[in-house]
Structure 1
């Protein structure tokens, strides 16, 4: 063998010139053809010359053929550069001739050479060479290799290539053995990679040549066409040609009918097959049950499950899993568990899929304890959790707020050698970002690359949004650029997050610059970006830019949304141009849009602020006439309007109307009315409303308590205010600085300076930020009440806390000292003023 390789290597030293390698006339192959050359390499020359000179192309081909036939294998030439250069120098026609010659004497060598040239040398074979090998593989009954080869061919040729390939098969290979197999596999290859029209063309050509396609090819076509009416044309042709349909054929047709929501037709088809076949197929039943479950008709699916038993069929694990999944989606977990027990009674062991379905069912209901019970049962059975199991648990824990447990499972999954999924990473990204832990989410992004996963646009968008939400817009922009560099094209969510971030954390000029860059350079016609920019200008009261951007939308042919008009209405309301705001509301109809609750509520609130309660209620009637349901915010605006007119009982009646409509008033709704009752000096009714809040499981907020304390201080009894304040502190309800300052001022007015001082000290101890204004408010009140010594206590407290004096507080204290003739205190304060750089004059 070594001597043969040595002899063939000597042949590789033949000098090749462009003239020698001129391709011969194209070859037309017939089954009776013989090798292109039958010559053998001459005996080794007796001279010392080591190079053989062949005079013509046919001599070169003959030499190569003889060498190849003598070797019997070319595996040892995979990394041989001389061998590689020789063959890459040959024309396609010459390689075709070599393969054709080899196929009759050593077909395996022909196949081996073909794949060596393609896979190892990167040679692009001609269509003829590929069909030569296809026929060899078909003749040797190697369907997998034949399918792989022809799929490679059609992928390389692309859509619309069927006519030319069919012409080559007809002209060059018509009478070859195995030609029928190659035709059939060509049609199958087109169908398998979803080039359906090409597949149909091949089958039509086969029909003209009286070549019959196999049931496998027809099934593949039916599968690709199951969402269309063409499915029935293919099926009719299949029946006409007498091809026996398989169980798989029937299941594909039933699946197609189900996917087109033609359930009744699917049932009728099953009945028809039951009449024809002695026993219907489990696959057909499974497909039909799956179709009903996908439509939410799990009870109907269960009836077919029972019919399987009546038809003498025992459901398999897949049958059970279909019904269990349907029950879990419907939330019937108890019934799903019973069916799993029934599964075991019939001798069918639940598999990992079964347990995963049940675990996911519990997860969808937020019952993670139930999901863990199922997983423990699975482990007890000796089954190993797979990627899907971990994904279910990770998603469940993250969605219930237990991100630490979800992350722990993620690490356990990776350490166990399992590949995490994009879903798991997306859920973890979202959970970390929602909890403000964006850096940890970013570390997961780079972890993905190490485990061989590629982040998609959704993941990048989640992270970009998270960074923008925490105000780190510049890092978000960097991540945006990184995403684009990976050729992952950003969606409106990512762009919108950056623009929103710039609007909220940056300057309006920065936001506008980014907006103009995106909508102009990227030619993005995205109403979401326009809406963000319009809303920002509207909130700033820049109505000119708001309207200018609206005109730009119309000029570019972009359809505005109701959000666009809501911002415009808000902008005109903010600038107190209510008549124009009303016209924008009417303009909504022009674009086929319907004003929503936000549109009406915005305008109603503007009229309420202007005191035009009649216009506010006219809008409410219009809103109801157009069947636009008011929200709790709408009712809060109405309550505020009634309170302004001191119609307190009517406002309380609106609270009842809200409950009747299934709306829950929020603390703002109640606070608005409570404040009005306090101002009306009806603190009893105010506290009744406070109790009503608790009755409806609505926790009063700090504003509620500030209103009540202020109401008692100003309109009620200060002792009651003290009792409420102490009660709230005893219940560990954290009060705001406003509650403290309200009581302090009240005690100063009443002359209880010691009580005021204790409250002030408590406020300082709790860590509230104490400003000059807080000291000034107390000192002013004490001075007005002529409590000069007590005022001095607060002045010294202020200076000891490092709070600088201001001109106003010094003037008040100097006047007070002058009034009581306290010259020493005046001089001390004047000296302190000079020290602070204040004008003592």
Structure 2
């Protein structure tokens, strides 16, 4: 059974096992036939003989004994099974202690056999909570449809154990509570074959999980047949199931049947039935049941009233719900926190702003203090409606009335302020919280740090993070992600990498999201080499890459034109038990389209179909672009129409792609028809659409048509982009109409678009090419008047143009103008 003694002849340190008596050694020799100096034998002897072998002190000493751990890790599964089995006969506590030490401390995956031995030992000692937790882990590890093999093992190997019936029952219960109802039913069926009676607790769990199905009738009848006797709780679960299946008449008939047989109605059954009817929206029926309950001599409790109050609030009858609170008080019942939470939520659902303080005043009048849930609900209402001021006022009013908000309420307020971009107020509130004696926690800091990062204030976010760390508040992955993402978005790549290395090295942070952020940043910058090094680093650290990791790497390869490497990484995805998604395929397809390899695009489409990955709008748009670039516009139109057939609706990008290539094909009528169809289908054209139309008319059509479209859009108050202006300006310059170009240029400036040196340079170059140097000079003066300095290119073009027409006087005038503006022209002259 054990390995050869040559492998295991090592002695334990004398300071640990020097006090083992000879009688214990003899007993251990009977337990395991091993040489006397064998390390495993000595370990087992210590467990067998030491009276405190399962004591925390002893386990702690073993936990730090690397020699012991290395030897135990060499044991095979069958060897461990034999040890646990033998211990179970000698000393059950030793067996349990040894098993959980291996499982929890050494993370050794133990066999089903050892697990069931320990389960029976726990059942034998009536340690039911430990047994349930132990079997819960077994069930989670085994997964769905594992009941049959486990039942076979229980049947074949453990029939002689006195505690076997309890293990069977607990296994069925654990399966049911884990949501594996089919497995639980398999265990129960096998128990019936073995004449083992499931407990009422197991039946209750099954009833609860099956309350949406017809099987509840079978389970309920089985409870009666087995003589266990349905309890009030059993009946309430059954009634709840009937209500959830909308079997209203059956539920009422069942309640009447209970009254007839038992002679007295059950409050729990009435409450359950009322709750079911309220859930279905039949509040009137629930009210009738409430009256019937009172007539039958049953006194409603607070839960009964809360059911009706909740039903009325959901139905919109908040005033009637408040009347029920009055009736509740008249019958000597005090509204509890649940009651007030229901009413507050009712006001929130109906948008009754005035009701918020009405509820709070009522609570003050009754001397009741709202708990954090009530305060949070009221504050959440204001936050969800964007009314931060109202939330802050409510907080001040509650404090003035003696209500001190707690940590949860402050978290809601801070989050609300941060989402509204009011970071300064959030920081002030954070300091105020600390002054009130409430210690700020990780959630408060997270909200503010995340808000600062979203606003681009990353350096301030880092300072706040460092301040948090000085207060011994443990950071979490969410904070690190926010800061790292903020640094990357600001373009602070060196600082981002430094922060990333510090976090992942110092804190041993194995967060794949952090790696994904850095990999994606490097990939977008075109630094694929660094992205690949990070990918290799996470593999070395044993971190499993996600599909996001691969998508970022593939995107980086595609951007740098390394399609062979991109394809190789697509194949590597499967090696990590991952499946490429639509983003993966679409990214590579777009890269193939850019190089004109439409055949590779369609091969990838076939691969997507094979792997059951559905293309989306972006995928089809990429295919359309690829076809259009090869002049296959009709094929692109077929793909476009095919999207509707597949239940996909083209978006703006899809329409824009096709419109652009229809203009290139000079099919203006079809392009405008597609634009009209776009609006008809409820998709609003964006500035890119109009840029395409205006540019298409300028380049491939008629400038007059482009100007008419431009004027029409202005009349409709549609804000055009800067590109639309510059496109028309360039077209007029090329046509030689400097005055119209000047007019459009002034309009562009008046509409608030930022005018750069590059914009002036583009116009001046075009005018000079048309020998319109004097008009170009007007743009130079406008440029200097606007506070922009001349660059060398503009000066060179202007002097060269004057020189070409022989206007040397204008050259010297231009030279004087540049000196006046502070520009040095000696090299050019």
TM-score (norm 2): 0.67
Q: CA 1:134 to 1:261, structure 2 compared with 1: closer, same or farther past 3 Å?
A: same
Q: CA 1:340 to 1:155, structure 2 compared with 1: closer, same or farther past 3 Å?
A: same
Confirm or deny that 1:398 pairs with 2:440: no
CA distance in 2, matches of 1:164, 1:94: 22
Confirm or deny that 1:366 pairs with 2:359: no
Deviation at 1:747, TM superposition (A): 2.8
Aligned to 2:232: 239
Aligned to 1:674: 729
Aligned to 2:549: 494
Task: Structure 1: state its 5+ residue gaps.
Answer: 23-50, 52-62, 103-108, 768-793, 801-841
Q: CA 1:464 to 1:73, structure 2 compared with 1: closer, same or farther past 3 Å?
A: closer
Secondary structure of 1:12 counterpart:
helix
Q: CA 1:459 to 1:13, structure 2 compared with 1: closer, same or farther past 3 Å?
A: closer
Q: Which has the larger radius of gyration?
A: 1
CA distance in 2, matches of 1:232, 1:347: 51
Confirm or deny that 1:561 pairs with 2:616: yes
Confirm or deny that 1:424 pairs with 2:436: no
Confirm or deny that 1:13 pairs with 2:25: yes
Aligned to 1:533: 588
Aligned to 2:711: 653
Q: Is the 8 A contact 1:426 1:459 kept in 2?
A: yes
Query: What CA deviation, in whole Å up to 9, does each residue of 1:326-369 have, x standing for no partner?
Result: 32233111111122223324433222222222111111011111
Q: Is the 8 A contact 1:363 1:396 kept in 2?
A: yes
Confirm or deny that 1:477 pairs with 2:529: no
Aligned to 2:3: none
Confirm or deny that 1:634 pairs with 2:646: no
Aligned to 1:35: none
Q: Is the 8 A contact 2:590 2:622 kept in 1?
A: yes
CA distance in 2, matches of 1:679, 1:535: 34
Secondary structure of 1:474 counterpart:
helix
Confirm or deny that 1:448 pairs with 2:503: yes
Confirm or deny that 1:665 pairs with 2:677: no
CA distance in 2, matches of 1:562, 1:188: 47
Deviation at 1:506, TM superposition (A): 4.1
Secondary structure of 1:348 counterpart:
coil
Which segment drifts farther, 473-482 or 449-458?
449-458
Which segment drifts farther, 113-122 or 504-513?
113-122
Q: Is the 8 A contact 1:677 1:686 kept in 2?
A: yes
Confirm or deny that 1:609 pairs with 2:621: no
Q: How does 1:570-589 map to 2 (within 5 A)?
A: 570-589=625-644
Q: How does 1:144-223 map to 2 (within 5 A)?
A: 213=201
Q: Is the 8 A contact 2:442 2:474 kept in 1?
A: yes
Which segment drifts farther, 407-416 or 390-399?
407-416
Confirm or deny that 1:320 pairs with 2:375: yes
Secondary structure of 2:676 counterpart:
helix
Q: How does 1:727-746 map to 2 (within 5 A)?
A: 727-729=782-784, 731-733=786-788, 739-746=794-801
Secondary structure of 1:646 counterpart:
helix
Instruction: Give me the CA root mean square deviation.
Output: 5.8
Deviation at 1:432, TM superposition (A): 1.7
Which segment drifts farther, 6-15 or 73-82?
73-82
Q: Is the 8 A contact 1:679 1:711 kept in 2?
A: yes
Q: CA 1:6 to 1:538, structure 2 compared with 1: closer, same or farther past 3 Å?
A: closer
Deviation at 1:465, TM superposition (A): 1.0
Aligned to 2:812: 754
Q: CA 1:309 to 1:561, structure 2 compared with 1: closer, same or farther past 3 Å?
A: same
Confirm or deny that 1:338 pairs with 2:338: no
Aligned to 1:791: none
Q: Is the 8 A contact 2:627 2:636 kept in 1?
A: yes
Q: CA 1:415 to 1:199, structure 2 compared with 1: closer, same or farther past 3 Å?
A: farther
Deviation at 1:401, TM superposition (A): 0.7
Which segment drifts farther, 423-432 or 710-719?
710-719
CA distance in 1, matches of 2:361, 2:184: 39
CA distance in 2, matches of 1:114, 1:549: 51
Q: CA 1:746 to 1:555, structure 2 compared with 1: closer, same or farther past 3 Å?
A: same
Q: CA 1:691 to 1:150, structure 2 compared with 1: closer, same or farther past 3 Å?
A: same
Q: Is the 8 A contact 1:286 1:322 kept in 2?
A: yes
TM-score (norm 1): 0.66
Q: 1:598 aligns with which of 650, 653, 678?
A: 653
Which segment drifts farther, 483-492 or 518-527?
518-527
Deviation at 1:670, TM superposition (A): 1.1
Aligned to 1:39: none
Secondary structure of 2:21 counterpart:
helix
Which segment drifts farther, 694-703 or 355-364?
694-703
Task: Structure 2: state its 5+ residue gaps.
Answer: 1-16, 37-44, 73-78, 224-229, 240-267, 287-305, 313-323
Q: Is the 8 A contact 2:651 2:683 kept in 1?
A: yes
Q: CA 1:744 to 1:569, structure 2 compared with 1: closer, same or farther past 3 Å?
A: farther
Deviation at 1:400, TM superposition (A): 0.4
Q: CA 1:283 to 1:414, structure 2 compared with 1: closer, same or farther past 3 Å?
A: same
Secondary structure of 2:788 counterpart:
coil
Aligned length: 698
Q: CA 1:120 to 1:740, structure 2 compared with 1: closer, same or farther past 3 Å?
A: closer
Deviation at 1:323, TM superposition (A): 2.3
Q: Is the 8 A contact 1:317 1:349 kept in 2?
A: no
Query: What CA deviation, in whole Å up to 9, does each residue of 1:687-741 have, x standing for no partner?
Result: 4433433443332344543355457667898566445424433544366665444
Query: What CA deviation, in whole Å up to 9, does each residue of 1:369-398 have, x standing for no partner?
Result: 121121121122122221112211211111
Aligned to 1:385: 440
Aligned to 2:408: 353
CA distance in 1, matches of 2:199, 2:768: 100
Q: Is the 8 A contact 2:456 2:490 kept in 1?
A: no
Deviation at 1:615, TM superposition (A): 3.6
Q: CA 1:676 to 1:278, structure 2 compared with 1: closer, same or farther past 3 Å?
A: same
Q: How does 1:21-36 map to 2 (within 5 A)?
A: none
CA distance in 2, matches of 1:692, 1:506: 41
